[in-house]
Protein backbone atom coordinates (compact mmCIF):
# COMPACT_ATOMS: atom_id res chain seq x y z
CA UNK A 1 0.00 0.00 0.00
CA UNK A 2 1.53 3.32 -1.05
CA UNK A 3 2.41 5.62 1.82
CA UNK A 4 3.67 9.20 1.83
CA UNK A 5 7.20 8.41 0.50
CA UNK A 6 5.77 6.41 -2.40
CA UNK A 7 3.44 9.27 -3.28
CA UNK A 8 6.31 11.77 -3.04
CA UNK A 9 8.48 9.56 -5.28
CA UNK A 10 5.61 9.18 -7.73
CA UNK A 11 5.13 12.94 -7.95
CA UNK A 12 8.87 13.45 -8.50
CA UNK A 13 8.78 10.83 -11.24
CA UNK A 14 5.85 12.54 -12.99
CA UNK A 15 7.50 15.99 -12.95
CA UNK A 16 9.88 15.44 -15.92
CA UNK A 17 7.03 14.10 -18.05
CA UNK A 18 4.27 16.56 -17.16
CA UNK A 19 5.63 19.82 -15.80
CA UNK A 20 5.37 22.66 -18.29
CA UNK A 21 3.71 20.41 -20.86
CA UNK A 22 0.28 20.84 -22.44
CA UNK A 23 -2.17 17.96 -22.05
CA UNK A 24 -3.22 16.97 -25.56
CA UNK A 25 -4.92 13.73 -24.66
CA UNK A 26 -7.05 12.97 -21.62
CA UNK A 27 -8.77 9.62 -21.49
CA UNK A 28 -10.87 8.18 -18.69
CA UNK A 29 -11.22 4.50 -19.49
CA UNK A 30 -13.92 4.02 -16.87
CA UNK A 31 -16.23 6.36 -14.93
CA UNK A 32 -14.89 5.82 -11.43
CA UNK A 33 -12.38 4.37 -9.03
CA UNK A 34 -13.28 4.46 -5.33
CA UNK A 35 -15.73 7.22 -6.33
CA UNK A 36 -16.94 8.68 -9.61
CA UNK A 37 -14.54 10.78 -11.68
CA UNK A 38 -15.68 14.39 -12.20
CA UNK A 39 -17.98 14.25 -15.23
CA UNK A 40 -16.16 17.14 -16.92
CA UNK A 41 -12.67 15.73 -16.22
CA UNK A 42 -11.71 15.39 -19.88
CA UNK A 43 -13.10 18.75 -20.91
CA UNK A 44 -11.37 20.65 -18.10
CA UNK A 45 -7.98 19.02 -18.60
CA UNK A 46 -7.67 18.73 -22.37
CA UNK A 47 -5.53 21.58 -23.70
CA UNK A 48 -4.52 22.74 -20.21
CA UNK A 49 -0.84 23.23 -19.38
CA UNK A 50 0.62 21.62 -16.25
CA UNK A 51 2.10 24.44 -14.19
CA UNK A 52 3.47 22.30 -11.36
CA UNK A 53 3.10 19.18 -9.27
CA UNK A 54 2.97 18.66 -5.53
CA UNK A 55 1.80 16.48 -2.69
CA UNK A 56 -0.46 16.90 0.33
CA UNK A 57 -0.43 13.96 2.77
CA UNK A 58 -0.92 10.89 0.56
CA UNK A 59 -2.49 12.84 -2.31
CA UNK A 60 -0.61 13.82 -5.45
CA UNK A 61 -1.39 17.23 -6.99
CA UNK A 62 -1.17 18.17 -10.68
CA UNK A 63 -1.81 21.92 -11.10
CA UNK A 64 -2.94 23.40 -14.42
CA UNK A 65 -3.05 26.88 -15.93
CA UNK A 66 -6.85 26.78 -15.80
CA UNK A 67 -6.92 27.13 -12.04
CA UNK A 68 -7.73 23.46 -11.57
CA UNK A 69 -5.74 20.86 -9.69
CA UNK A 70 -6.05 17.19 -10.52
CA UNK A 71 -5.80 15.42 -7.16
CA UNK A 72 -4.93 11.73 -7.24
CA UNK A 73 -4.86 9.12 -4.51
CA UNK A 74 -3.21 5.73 -5.12
CA UNK A 75 -5.51 3.83 -2.75
CA UNK A 76 -4.22 0.31 -2.06
CA UNK A 77 -2.63 -0.59 -5.37
CA UNK A 78 -2.47 2.49 -7.61
CA UNK A 79 0.60 3.47 -9.62
CA UNK A 80 1.40 5.64 -12.60
CA UNK A 81 3.08 4.02 -15.59
CA UNK A 82 5.20 6.16 -17.86
CA UNK A 83 5.15 5.77 -21.65
CA UNK A 84 3.54 2.31 -21.48
CA UNK A 85 4.00 0.13 -24.54
CA UNK A 86 0.40 -1.01 -24.21
CA UNK A 87 -2.62 -0.06 -22.16
CA UNK A 88 -4.31 -2.84 -20.23
CA UNK A 89 -7.44 -3.64 -18.24
CA UNK A 90 -6.18 -1.97 -15.05
CA UNK A 91 -5.06 1.26 -16.76
CA UNK A 92 -8.00 3.51 -15.93
CA UNK A 93 -6.86 7.00 -16.82
CA UNK A 94 -4.41 8.36 -19.36
CA UNK A 95 -2.73 11.72 -19.87
CA UNK A 96 -0.81 12.48 -23.07
CA UNK A 97 1.38 15.54 -23.56
CA UNK A 98 2.32 17.77 -26.50
CA UNK A 99 5.72 16.06 -26.39
CA UNK A 100 4.08 12.75 -27.26
CA UNK A 101 4.64 11.21 -23.85
CA UNK A 102 1.98 9.37 -21.86
CA UNK A 103 1.28 8.48 -18.26
CA UNK A 104 -1.44 6.05 -17.21
CA UNK A 105 -2.93 5.47 -13.81
CA UNK A 106 -3.01 1.73 -13.16
CA UNK A 107 -5.04 0.51 -10.18
CA UNK A 108 -6.08 -3.17 -10.07
CA UNK A 109 -8.00 -2.89 -6.78
CA UNK A 110 -9.54 0.51 -7.63
CA UNK A 111 -9.36 2.05 -4.16
CA UNK A 112 -7.69 5.13 -5.62
CA UNK A 113 -9.39 8.38 -6.62
CA UNK A 114 -9.20 11.28 -9.06
CA UNK A 115 -10.71 14.66 -8.28
CA UNK A 116 -10.55 18.09 -9.88
CA UNK A 117 -10.39 20.88 -7.33
CA UNK A 118 -10.14 24.61 -7.86
CA UNK A 119 -6.50 25.29 -6.95
CA UNK A 120 -7.36 28.39 -4.91
CA UNK A 121 -9.69 26.38 -2.67
CA UNK A 122 -7.51 23.28 -2.15
CA UNK A 123 -6.97 24.00 1.57
CA UNK A 124 -10.73 24.01 2.07
CA UNK A 125 -11.33 20.84 0.03
CA UNK A 126 -13.04 18.40 2.41
CA UNK A 127 -10.23 15.81 2.78
CA UNK A 128 -7.70 18.62 3.38
CA UNK A 129 -9.78 21.00 5.50
CA UNK A 130 -9.04 19.48 8.90
CA UNK A 131 -5.66 17.96 8.13
CA UNK A 132 -2.71 18.60 10.42
CA UNK A 133 0.70 19.82 9.25
CA UNK A 134 2.89 17.95 6.79
CA UNK A 135 5.37 15.79 8.72
CA UNK A 136 8.28 17.08 6.64
CA UNK A 137 7.25 20.73 6.97
CA UNK A 138 8.72 23.23 9.45
CA UNK A 139 5.36 23.51 11.26
CA UNK A 140 5.72 19.93 12.42
CA UNK A 141 8.05 20.40 15.41
CA UNK A 142 8.27 19.39 19.07
CA UNK A 143 6.42 22.50 20.23
CA UNK A 144 3.55 21.78 17.88
CA UNK A 145 3.30 18.13 18.92
CA UNK A 146 3.38 19.05 22.62
CA UNK A 147 0.34 21.34 22.06
CA UNK A 148 -1.47 18.86 19.79
CA UNK A 149 -1.10 15.98 22.29
CA UNK A 150 -1.75 18.01 25.44
CA UNK A 151 -4.14 16.10 27.72
CA UNK A 152 -4.61 13.27 25.24
CA UNK A 153 -4.81 9.83 26.85
CA UNK A 154 -4.97 7.85 23.59
CA UNK A 155 -1.89 5.78 22.68
CA UNK A 156 0.76 7.76 20.82
CA UNK A 157 0.56 5.36 17.91
CA UNK A 158 -3.14 6.03 17.34
CA UNK A 159 -2.58 9.79 17.67
CA UNK A 160 0.17 9.79 15.03
CA UNK A 161 -2.16 7.95 12.65
CA UNK A 162 -4.82 10.63 13.21
CA UNK A 163 -4.60 12.87 10.12
CA UNK A 164 -5.73 15.88 12.19
CA UNK A 165 -2.58 15.59 14.32
CA UNK A 166 -0.15 15.08 11.44
CA UNK A 167 -0.94 14.49 7.78
CA UNK A 168 -0.13 11.43 5.73
CA UNK A 169 1.55 9.12 8.25
CA UNK A 170 0.72 5.43 7.86
CA UNK A 171 1.24 2.35 9.96
CA UNK A 172 4.71 1.42 8.69
CA UNK A 173 6.35 4.80 9.30
CA UNK A 174 4.71 5.26 12.68
CA UNK A 175 6.06 1.87 13.85
CA UNK A 176 9.50 2.72 12.49
CA UNK A 177 9.63 6.23 13.99
CA UNK A 178 8.43 5.11 17.44
CA UNK A 179 11.17 2.47 17.49
CA UNK A 180 13.80 4.99 16.40
CA UNK A 181 12.64 7.41 19.13
CA UNK A 182 12.47 4.64 21.76
CA UNK A 183 8.84 5.34 22.63
CA UNK A 184 6.26 2.66 23.45
CA UNK A 185 3.40 2.63 20.92
CA UNK A 186 0.90 2.36 23.80
CA UNK A 187 2.23 5.33 25.79
CA UNK A 188 -0.46 7.99 26.36
CA UNK A 189 0.27 10.85 23.94
CA UNK A 190 -0.23 13.53 26.58
CA UNK A 191 2.30 11.92 28.91
CA UNK A 192 5.39 12.13 26.73
CA UNK A 193 7.96 14.76 27.69
CA UNK A 194 8.99 17.61 25.40
CA UNK A 195 12.52 16.23 24.77
CA UNK A 196 11.09 12.84 23.82
CA UNK A 197 8.58 14.50 21.50
CA UNK A 198 11.46 16.41 19.87
CA UNK A 199 13.18 13.06 19.31
CA UNK A 200 9.99 11.61 17.89
CA UNK A 201 9.59 14.47 15.41
CA UNK A 202 13.19 14.00 14.27
CA UNK A 203 12.64 10.23 13.96
CA UNK A 204 9.51 10.73 11.83
CA UNK A 205 11.34 13.10 9.48
CA UNK A 206 14.36 10.77 9.32
CA UNK A 207 12.40 7.63 8.39
CA UNK A 208 10.37 9.51 5.77
CA UNK A 209 13.40 11.19 4.18
CA UNK A 210 15.29 7.88 4.09
CA UNK A 211 12.36 6.21 2.32
CA UNK A 212 12.01 9.06 -0.17
CA UNK A 213 15.74 8.83 -0.90
CA UNK A 214 15.41 5.07 -1.41
CA UNK A 215 12.58 5.78 -3.83
CA UNK A 216 14.59 8.51 -5.53
CA UNK A 217 17.45 6.13 -6.17
CA UNK A 218 15.06 3.96 -8.16
CA UNK A 219 13.80 6.95 -10.17
CA UNK A 220 16.33 6.27 -12.93
CA UNK A 221 14.33 3.14 -13.73
CA UNK A 222 11.34 5.32 -14.54
CA UNK A 223 13.16 6.89 -17.48
CA UNK A 224 12.67 3.72 -19.46
CA UNK A 225 9.33 2.89 -21.11
CA UNK A 226 6.95 1.00 -18.87
CA UNK A 227 8.56 2.47 -15.82
CA UNK A 228 6.22 2.14 -12.88
CA UNK A 229 6.15 4.82 -10.25
CA UNK A 230 5.37 4.31 -6.64
CA UNK A 231 6.81 1.12 -5.21
CA UNK A 232 10.27 0.24 -4.02
CA UNK A 233 11.71 -2.11 -1.45
CA UNK A 234 12.96 -0.83 1.85
CA UNK A 235 14.70 -2.23 4.86
CA UNK A 236 12.62 -1.82 8.00
CA UNK A 237 13.85 -1.60 11.59
CA UNK A 238 10.82 -3.34 13.12
CA UNK A 239 7.99 -3.42 10.58
CA UNK A 240 7.19 -6.98 9.46
CA UNK A 241 10.06 -8.36 11.55
CA UNK A 242 8.19 -10.14 14.34
CA UNK A 243 10.39 -12.70 16.06
CA UNK A 244 13.60 -11.28 14.62
CA UNK A 245 16.28 -9.78 16.79
CA UNK A 246 16.32 -6.04 17.44
CA UNK A 247 19.79 -4.44 17.50
CA UNK A 248 19.58 -4.44 21.32
CA UNK A 249 19.41 -8.26 21.47
CA UNK A 250 15.72 -8.38 22.40
CA UNK A 251 13.11 -9.90 20.08
CA UNK A 252 10.79 -7.73 17.96
CA UNK A 253 7.14 -8.27 18.84
CA UNK A 254 3.88 -7.76 17.02
CA UNK A 255 0.64 -6.61 18.60
CA UNK A 256 -2.67 -6.57 16.71
CA UNK A 257 -4.90 -3.60 17.44
CA UNK A 258 -7.99 -2.49 15.51
CA UNK A 259 -7.04 -4.39 12.39
CA UNK A 260 -3.49 -3.08 12.26
CA UNK A 261 -0.26 -4.67 13.35
CA UNK A 262 2.10 -2.82 15.63
CA UNK A 263 5.72 -3.94 15.53
CA UNK A 264 7.92 -2.86 18.42
CA UNK A 265 10.84 -3.81 20.64
CA UNK A 266 9.78 -4.34 24.27
CA UNK A 267 13.24 -3.38 25.51
CA UNK A 268 14.00 -0.29 23.37
CA UNK A 269 10.42 0.99 23.69
CA UNK A 270 9.67 0.41 27.35
CA UNK A 271 8.00 3.74 28.13
Q: What is the smallest separation between the CB atom of 200 and Zn ion, expressed in angstroms?
A: 16
Q: Map residues 224-263 to x or -, x wherever contact with Zn ion holds by CB under 5 A.
A: ----------------------x-x-x-------------
Asked whether position 131 contacts Zn ion by CB under 5 A, the answer is: no
Q: What is the smallest separation between the CB atom of 253 and Zn ion, expressed in angstroms?
A: 10
Question: Angle at the Cα of 255 (from 74 to 144), degrees rounded to 5?
Answer: 60
The active-site residue, picked from 3, 6, 102, 176, is: 3
Q: What is the smallest separation between the CB atom of 127 and Zn ion, expressed in angstroms?
A: 36
Nearer to Zn ion, 162 or 242 (CB): 242
Q: What is the smallest separation between the CB atom of 270 and Zn ion, expressed in angstroms?
A: 10
Nearer to Zn ion, 243 or 259 (CB): 243
Burial of 45 (0-12, 13-18, 19+ CB in 10 A): buried
Nearer to Zn ion, 43 or 250 (CB): 250
Asked whether position 267 contacts Zn ion by CB under 5 A, the answer is: yes
The length of the chain, given as a count of residues: 271
Nearer to Zn ion, 73 or 241 (CB): 241
The active-site residue, picked from 58, 199, 237, 241, is: 58
> Is 2 an active-site residue?
yes
Asked whether position 31 contacts Zn ion by CB under 5 A, the answer is: no
Give the Å distances, CA to CA, from 212 to 22, 90, 136, 146: 28, 26, 11, 26
Asked whether position 265 contacts Zn ion by CB under 5 A, the answer is: yes
Nearer to Zn ion, 50 or 246 (CB): 246
Size of the site for Zn ion (CB under 5 A): 6
For 67, residues 6+ apart whose C-beta sits below 8 A from its C-beta are 118, 119, 120
Q: What is the smallest separation between the CB atom of 236 and Zn ion, expressed in angstroms?
A: 14
Q: What is the smallest separation between the CB atom of 250 and Zn ion, expressed in angstroms?
A: 5
Q: Map the chain to HEC letters.
A: CCCHHHHHHHHHHHHHHHCCCEEEEEEECCCECCCECCCCHHHHHCCCEEEEEEEECCEEEEEECCCEEEEEECCCCCEEEECCCCCCCCEEEEEEECCCCEEEEECCCCCCEEEEEEHHHHHHCHHHHCCCCCCCCCCCCHHHHHHHHCCCCCEHHHHHHCCCCCCCCCHHHHHHHHHHHCCCCCCEHHHCCHHHHHHHHHHHHHHHHHHHHHHHHCHHHHHCCCEECCCCCCCCCCCCCCCCECCCCCECEEEEECCEEEEECCCCCCC
Nearer to Zn ion, 248 or 271 (CB): 248
The active-site residue, picked from 2, 84, 135, 185, is: 2
Q: Map residues 192-231 to x or -, x wherever contact with Zn ion holds by CB under 5 A.
A: ----------------------------------------
The active-site residue, picked from 21, 152, 255, 260, is: 260
Q: Which residues bind Zn ion (CB under 5 A)?
A: 246, 248, 250, 265, 267-268
Query: Which residues are annotated as catalytic?
Result: 2-3, 58, 260
Amino acid sequence: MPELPEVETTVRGLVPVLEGRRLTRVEARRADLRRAFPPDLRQRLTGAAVTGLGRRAKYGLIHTDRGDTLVFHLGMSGRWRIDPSDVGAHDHFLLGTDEGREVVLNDPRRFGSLDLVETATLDRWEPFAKMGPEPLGDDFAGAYLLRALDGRSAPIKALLLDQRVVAGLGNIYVCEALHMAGISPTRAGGRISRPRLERLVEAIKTVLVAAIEAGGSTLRDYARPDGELGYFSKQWRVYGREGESCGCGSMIRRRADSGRSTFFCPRCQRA
